[in-house]
Structure formats: structure tokens, C-alpha cells
Amino acid sequence: MDFIVAGIVKAFQLLLQGDRETYSAVLATVQVSSLSMSVSLLIGIPLGYCLGYADFPGRRSIRTVVDTMLSLPTVFIGLLVYAFISNRGPLGEYGLLFTLSGIAVGQAILALPIVIALTATAVESLDRPLRLTLLSLGASGRQVFLTSIWEARLGLLVAAVTATGRVLTEVGISMMVGGNIKWHTRTITTAIALETNKGQFATGIALGLVLLAIAFAVNLSLSFLRRRA
């Protein structure tokens, strides 16, 4: 137990003293998660709305595929992204391998099914007369979309927070696509894995505390937005 207590004490020292290596991993995590979540929300919310609102042939099959993708292993996504953006892949010319942008691509793929599925569920849970009322009042398709999204806002918040938590805690994509390069693509989770293997428990605990703080801040924001909504 002594090394655990010593590790926690050293962790607070690293955080309070502004350890460059620790905060480099924190900054990389914030950058890549912000980028990946922005992309997944911009794409996933409209797709989730269409899946939950419209009735078209093959809708149930598509919903089954989306639900299945919720359990995709991160290492498998990392493998696919690596194959596409490596020098021998079709997207190799863009130089995304071992960059934060490359990690963001993989994490966006990871978060996208979550956003789509939970958005579709939130839209499906809306009152059915809402659409008829809006259409009878002469609302355009854009107005129906915006009104439905507003009515399902709490469900969308849950989708965003769930996807963010999945992105923040993943390791496989960041390790395979980013390469865990110090000062460049090393994120909090990959740094924790590396430092623990090296026996540097204090640094690992410090990064773990930061990850918990970020998760707490996200959930606190959700509670605040719920109250406002």
C-alpha cells in the first residue's frame, strides 16, 4: 500500500508543479477528443435523426448494423484506420499516420455509431403527433428537423457524453494509429499504459487523476445543461 500512497502524493506534485510530460499528454488528449467529437456529432446527429424519424426500406437492417457497431473493439478500428492511412494504404498520401489527426479519425469512427444510435433512440421517443402538428402548421423540413432536435436535446446530451467517455478512455486506436510518440501523439491512456509498464506509478496515477477530472467535468456539464433545459 505504501507505493500506492506515495504514487498519489507524487501525482499531485507532478500536477501542481506543471510537469511538461504530463501536461503534454493531457493537451494531446483534449485536442484529439475535441476534434473527433466535433466530427462525430456533426455527422452523427443528422444521420441519427434520419434513422429515427424517417421510414424507408432497410431501416431495421441499418439500425441493426449501427447497434452492432457499438461493440466494435478499438484495436480493430485502429487496425483498419492504420491500413488505410499507412504509406501503402489508399489514404497514405495525406500523411495522417502517427499524427493527432489520424487518431481523431479513428476515434470519430468509434464515437459515430454511439451518436447515431442514441440520437435515433431519442428521436423515436418523441411524441408521434409532434410531426403531424408541425407539418399541419406548414413547417418546412428544416424546421421539423430543428424542432425535433430541440425536443430531443436531453437524449442528444446523453449521446454526446457517452461518446465522449468512450473516446477519452480508449487505448487501442491511440496506440496503433498514433504510435504513442512522446511530446507528439502520446495521450493520457497510452501514457498510463507506458508509465505503468516502466514502473512509473506516480506519473500513471497523475494522468489517471486528470482523466477522472475530465470525466467529472463532462458529467458536471451534463447535469448543468439538464437543469437549464
Instruction: Tell me the pTM.
Output: 0.88
The one-letter amino acid code at 222 reads L
Domain count, the chain: 1
Residue 85 grid coordinates: 492511412
The answer to whether the beta carbons of residues 18 and 90 sit under 8 Å apart is: no
The domain that holds 196 is classified in CATH as: 1.10.3720.10
The pLDDT value recorded for residue 119 is 94
What are the tens digits of pLDDT across the range 92-138? 888 899 999 999 999 999 999 999 999 999 988 887 777 767 767 67
Q: Provide the CB-side half-sphere exposure for 74 (13 A, CA).
A: 19
Domain that residue 24 falls in: 2-228
Question: Which DSSP state fits 86?
Answer: S
CA pair distance 73, 65, nearest whole angstrom: 15
Residue 140 grid coordinates: 418546412
What are the tens digits of pLDDT across the range 136-165? 767 777 888 888 888 888 889 889 988 998
Q: Lowest-pLDDT range, 30-44, 104-118, 192-206?
A: 192-206
The DSSP H or E segment spanning 172 is helix 172-178
The answer to whether the beta carbons of residues 25 and 103 sit under 8 Å apart is: no
